[in-house]
A and B are shown apart, each in its own frame.
Chain A
């Protein structure tokens, strides 16, 4: 394989692994704001215990997010030097803003959130929690802005020729609010919320199944199911808006997502199927005219197909089509489990219905898979461009590296990630088995006040 393909695989591997964690921080961050908000409002100590427990899990996902994020920071420069030179001026301000506003808001107030329970007032602590949650969301904002610029570049000017060409920012706010930023940001953040919500549902269902911490798990289940229902509906709206944006701004990507080869009137929507690239046909269950309707809001206007896109500007259609459809299937599974669980909740049978508890336990994976394949759709769908319409992926790679180097580093990353994932599961399992504190934690020892609590919170208990 050539350096470009290997570097793409490496980037997919490192960013895919990284993207397990930030959605969890963002989603759990949102839920922490809600849990602690209820505590502040009702003074019910149950919600303090809930918040305390999930703060610990948050700290773990945050730590893993930082460790894997370090790899991302290196990754642009090591494998995509040409691309880094090209986008540096644009990415610089977005990533700089991410580093400072987001990362430090998060890291800074994480300390207060973790070990400030008895040091600051309840109101101040809630403020810290809001800051941490806001920080994790800001992080998503700037990363998605930078990525959206790669999808729909705007507010820049390309200067220089050939290898020396680069994009220079001419209008900062036009760059930030490029045509796809808002749609994609909403879509990504909702996806993150689902990751956090279903993680909480999964742990709650596990406790119910084991008949442990019942009061605790019922409270988190109730709020989690309610939020899941709302966010799933919002995601449906966001998905529609995002796809129509793609149809306007990146027709080649939309054609690949829906497997459209020929531009024809009343373009059908393929619900389930496969792409036959040899015969240029998409087979499966199709609804005539539905894609035309979804894109144009009428059943006849044709949707741009591959036949209108130059051969060397078409993304790989099969994988984009399937990734996109798996994402939708995952939404369906999440909707299904939420409806089933809400129904049983109303009937007060949920804690006794094992199959739905098991369904909820495994549902932690659905938003994770949806997030992964969603990004695959977005990034593979942009091919062969690394910056849409401006720079081809093949021109973005570092000219100084050779295949054997990348093969070696891919092997290294696989080893590291197996190790990190084992560490994550080990510490996570430890925390889940330990469970929430059953009574309000004792007042801190005067001789080692903050130390002990921070250690506890970050899970560094010795054995």
Chain B
């Protein structure tokens, strides 16, 4: 395999890892955000325990994405992490505080105690979801990179209207994803209520989806060139929309598992849209886009390193998937609260 093919393959592998991360950690972040909408302690415990056994495994995908970027695209890793320094620190704080909140929340009966940790859990989930969306929005819109491929913008610059819109888009998407997951994991009255919430979230999301599409079409021409050249690609965003609209249909048939898969499919398709719009760039530069952007072929590691990595991944990913499947099989079914729960 030549260097070009190897880089392309590695670009796709990272794409798949990002999708795994968002589809998996996405629902537990969504559960965290949905935690804002209930006040009853029992319900909050059900929420927490629905993600209890799996959330830390889901976060491992973030480690994989970070490691894969460092290994396969060191320039992208260096540019993004140093360019978004403050955002990275906030995300890190969010990730750790969230983990601590999950761990500590149910350790004491005190109402105040639980309220504080619940607030930390919900707000950190919201910040992480929004922050991830903000990063994606910046990558779509392009950021100023100099000839050394270093970010030359300010922190305030990260918060431009378009990335903020993508941040909101991500939050609403993960709210759908989280509430569908919760509906799948609950029973009785709460289950019915969550279905209603999931549908409401879905309609909010559909509204934001349409709005974002229009704005992108007008404001971000670089993202729509490929769709204009090859209108066939438009089927991908349409399928993403249909997949999410499929959720209430599956609910009506009592197929909650399929509703969740629909929501997963929608995430996969939305990343395909992202990929079609931004390819071949990983980080698009708003200064001299042709020369300063980081693409899969100018930012990749050497062919030898990519080859070594490919062998490692070839052995590793099947192991990860087998392990993940086992954990999800063990913990399938509705949440039950007992004395060993969170």
| Chain A residues near B (Cβ < 8 Å) | 63, 66-67, 69-71, 73-74, 76-79, 81-82, 84-85, 87-93, 95-97, 99-101, 103-104, 107-108, 111, 163-164, 166, 168-170, 172, 398-401, 405, 408-409, 412, 416, 419-420, 423, 448, 450-452, 454-456, 460-463
Contacts and interface: CB of A to CB of B under 8 A. Distances in A.
B76 to A, nearest CB: 9
Contacts of B152: 400
Given A88-B301, A96-B309, A398 B85 contact: yes
By Cβ-Cβ distance, the 3 closest A-B pairs, closest first, are A88-B74, A77-B81, A100-B316
A450 B330 contact: yes
A460 B63 contact: no
Contact of A92 (B85, B95, B301): B301
Contacts of B103: 423, 460
A456 B338 CA distance: 12
Main secondary structure of the interface of A (DSSP, over half): helix
Given A93-B71, A100-B316, A462-B342, A85 B107 contact: no
Given A100-B315, A111-B326, A172-B304, A420 B67 contact: no
27 contacts: A66-B60, A67-B99, A70-B62, A70-B95, A74-B66, A77-B77, A81-B78, A82-B78, A88-B71, A91-B74, A92-B74, A96-B313, A97-B308, A104-B323, A164-B148, A409-B85, A416-B93, A419-B96, A420-B96, A423-B103, A423-B104, A450-B331, A452-B338, A462-B341, A463-B106, A463-B107, A463-B109
B339 A461 contact: yes
B320 interface: yes
Given A84-B74, A101-B316, A416-B96, A73 B66 contact: yes
Nearest to B75: A85
A423 B103 CA distance: 9
B212 interface: no
A93 B305 CA distance: 6
A405 B331 contact: no
A416 B99 CA distance: 11
A97 B338 CA distance: 40
B88 interface: yes
Given A111-B327, A408-B89, A100 B312 contact: yes
Nearest to A406: B85
A89 B302 contact: yes
Given A70-B95, A84-B77, A100-B315, 17 more contacts: A66-B56, A71-B92, A77-B82, A79-B85, A87-B74, A92-B305, A96-B312, A100-B319, A104-B319, A111-B323, A169-B304, A400-B85, A400-B150, A423-B104, A460-B103, A460-B340, A461-B339
B72 A92 contact: yes
Contacts of A401: 82, 85
Contacts of A100: 312-313, 315-316, 319
Given A74-B92, A405-B85, A89 B341 contact: no
